[in-house]
Structure 1
Amino acid sequence: MPHPSPSPAAGSAEPQRRARRKNARPGELLAAALDLFVEKGYAATRVEEVAARAGVSKGTLFLYFPSKEELFKAVVRENIAGRFAEWQRELDSFEGDSEALLRRCYTVWWERIGSTKAAGITKLMCSEARNFPALAHFYHQEVMQPGTALVRCILERGIARGEIRPLDLDTGVYLVLSPMMFLMFWQNTMAGCLPARTDDTSETAPCASMPFSPEAYLEAQIDNLLRGLRP
């Protein structure tokens, strides 16, 4: 007896699954690369390790990213640099005062960057920038410059509205950025070496090892910053 022919739906299911798997590979590779870059640093991470963690061959990785440098750049764009346009739109549409905007700035940063593995990218760059000047230049152009420009816009908006006193914006932007930088460095250096706090129920590691609450620290920094910026 002849076997019945597979239905069109059954025949097309496997190609569809393969297509979905292929479309997911860049994201899987970027996630694996982020993990390894943060864990081991740029120099010590090998593309073979990234491919193995993503469950593909090294050749497959090179189909999407032609070199380790391009892979790293893609990780930075995926997790940080590619978000500035979205943050600028949020700033442009924000209707509250400068105090509410600065609080929103810290909250969004902590939720989307500071408490995630992406925070380790900044520590990595500070550690290895001198050995990889091309990557340092890339990071400066695609992360540092737009980041400081965004903070500058927040301060300029506040000054124009009479909610922030006039100040030197070239250095004033770092008043806002410094608490963020401290948390990223602490989280990716000393925090992982300390015993966990018994009163911390957060599932965010390595933040559970911090001797203080990151949220409480940011709240204290915001309060101190606002006192200094008010007219």
Structure 2
Amino acid sequence: MDVTDNKPKWSRRKEARPTEIIEAALHVFIEHGFSAAKLDDVAKRAGIVKGTLYRYYDTKEDLFRAVVQVALEGHLQGIEQATTAFRGALGELVPVLLRRVAEGMGESRVPALARLVISESRSFPDLARIWHDNVVAKMLMLLTGLIAEAQARGEVRPGDPTVHAFSIIGPMVMALLFHEVLDTDSNHAPDLGTLARQHAETVLRGLMVASGDPSVL
């Protein structure tokens, strides 16, 4: 007889617990908001006792940080890997980057988490810091660095690289919030893939240096 058959169920599931807790917390946070979310509800949804939850996360803020990191891990890693490995011109990268952002928005809980942070960040400033450190700062640093490199090569017009980065990613963020807040009540929610393609064409016309342009000499 296999000795593992005698192990209790909770022992065999120990390694899966953090994943189950985070998945349960994601649902509870999105359904109830951060302030109204109760760790009792998270534990119940995960099928554990509340004391077990505290073995992994000391506070509700710690749990939210883990939720954000896991929810964004695959999406951000894919974008980071694609941009880090890219060796072409910025004009070739921007359409790819915006398409990846659009795909991630449509397939993840990122919009719901963003809405939660915006709605509760005044009462819970730590939420904004968690979102900034795990999402905003990473994306802006990555894109700002690429723009600065493109400026050094003479591909992109002069200007603050961070401001240029906001001009590239800003409409996608607005569309994310539009879909999450007004999608069911509005006929004007943009198709994310179409927005990504059209915005890439539009913003690159303004950012990229045209051959022989005297304004950048």
TM-score, normalisation: structure 1: 0.78
Q: Which amino acid aligns with 2:199?
A: Q
Deviation at 1:38, TM superposition (A): 2.2
Q: What amino acid is aligned across from residue 195 of structure 2 in structure 1?
A: Y
Q: Give me the whole-angstrom Cα distance separating, in 2, the residues matched to 1:174 and 1:103.
A: 15
Residue 219 (structure 1) aligned to one of 177, 197, 200: 197
Deviation at 1:85, TM superposition (A): 6.3
Mapped contact 1:37–1:45 kept (Cα < 8 A): yes
Q: Which residue of 2 aligns with 1:230?
A: 208
After TM superposition, list the pairs within 5 Å mapping 1:127-206 onto structure 2: 127-194=119-186
State the Cα distance separating 1:63 from its structure 2 match: 1.7
Answer whether contact 1:120 1:184 (CA < 8 A) is retained: no
Instruction: Please list the CA deviations of residues 149-185 of structure 1 after superposition, one character each: whole Å capped at 9, or x if unmatched.
Output: 1110221232233332222223222102212211221
Structure 1 segments unaligned to the other structure (5+ residues): 1-6, 196-209
Tell me, in whole angstroms, the C-alpha distance in 1 between the residues paired with 2:87 and 2:124: 42
Query: 2-side partners of 1:113 and 1:168: how far apart?
Result: 27
Displacement of 1:117 = 0.8
Q: 2:191 is matched by which residue type in structure 1?
A: S
Unaligned runs of 5+ in 2: 210-217
**Offset from partner CA, 1:49-72 (integer Å, 9 cap, x none):** 222222222222222112211100
In structure 2, what is the Cα distance between the partners aligned to 1:14 and 1:217?
56
Superposed, 1:62-81 pairs within 5 Å as 62-80=54-72
8 A contact 2:98–2:169 mirrored in 1: no
Percent of pairs with identical residues: 29
Q: Check whether the contact 2:175–2:190 (CA below 8 A) recurs between aligned residues.
A: no
Alignment partner of 1:22 is 2:44: no
Q: Once the 2 structures are TM-superposed, how far is the Cα of residue 17 of structure 1 from its aligned partner?
A: 6.5
CA distance in 2, matches of 1:174, 1:52: 41
> Once the 2 structures are TM-superposed, how far is the Cα of residue 113 of structure 1 from its aligned partner?
4.4
| Cα distance in 1 between the residues matched to 2:31 and 2:184 | 11
Alignment length (residue pairs): 209
TM-score, length-normalised on structure 2?
0.83
1:57 matched residue in structure 2: 49
Structure 1 residues 177 and 211: alpha-carbon distance in aligned structure 2, compared to 1, 3 A threshold = closer
Q: 1:119 aligns with which of 111, 134, 145?
A: 111
Deviates more, 1:151-160 or 1:85-94: 85-94
CA contact (8 A) 2:79 2:97 kept: no
| 1:40 positional shift | 2.4
Question: Which structure has the higher relative contact order (CA within 8 Å, separation 6+)?
Answer: 2
Among candidates 93, 116, 119, match of residue 101 of structure 1: 93
SS in 2 for 1:130: coil
